[in-house]
Amino acid sequence: MPAFETLLTFFGVSVLLGLTPGPDNLFVLLQSAQRGWRAGMAVVVGLCAGLVVHTAAVALGLAAVFAASAMAFTVLKYCGAAYLAYLAWQALRAPAATAQESASGQGNPGSPAGPSLGRMVGRGMVMNLTNPKVLVFFLAFLPQFADPARGSVALQLMLLGVVFMLATLLVFGAIACFSGGFGVLLQRSARAQNVLNRMAGLVFLGLAVRLATAER
């Protein structure tokens, strides 16, 4: 097991990484602003579920095999880009009435006007799993805090993954609550809803292009 000081340092670094602007926290912010804090928290749960898979892949050595395959990296990144482009298309064509109905349901996306919480969890998980740079990052980041002299490296990596998920849950959860509360104010105006939907669509499209052009 890693030393307590190592875990504390790792947790602090993980929090800072969570606060650094990136595709995942931007995704949480926009989904929360559009559909409420519950939807945002569901996305966060999905992202953390994706981190479980990435952590297991690193601990089992699968990540190294994946990182060595240019084809696997390319296929996965294009799948992720296509999914983001699909979300952009949905956001750009969403009418203001949809956001208004969602707001009247206290931000609950389980209403007919929006995706269920389960689907929002799925969005977060797909968003995370189809980004190959997350797996490559974990492969480079987690082993730096593991010490073979302190026992099984695989178990240490799993523990570090849990700590990273906890930091992600805390930081992204705060973003979801803040953005969801702010989004309620915007959802009172049809014009603001339209602007928010268009902004979300453009951001998702930008993230799709960024992922599609990413290099290992």
Q: Which residues contact 22 (CB under 8 A, 6 or more apart)?
A: none
Please say whether the beta carbons of 153 and 74 come within 8 A. Answer: no
Helices (H), the chain: 4-19, 23-35, 37-60, 62-67, 70-93, 96-104, 117-129, 132-141, 153-186, 190-212
At 16-67, the pLDDT tens digits run: 888 887 888 888 988 888 888 899 999 999 999 999 998 988 888 877 776 6
- Rounded (10°) CA dihedral 106, 109, 114, 118: 180
Q: What 8-state DSSP symbol labels residue 148? A: G
* pLDDT for the residue 111: 39
Domain ranges of the chain: 37-212
At 81-119, the pLDDT tens digits run: 888 788 788 777 766 544 445 444 444 444 335 678 888
CB atoms within 10 A of CB 68: 10
Q: What is the mean pLDDT of residues 186-204?
A: 71
Total-model pTM: 0.77
Query: Could you give the count of Cα atoms lying within 13 Å of 207 in the half-sphere of its Cβ?
Result: 29
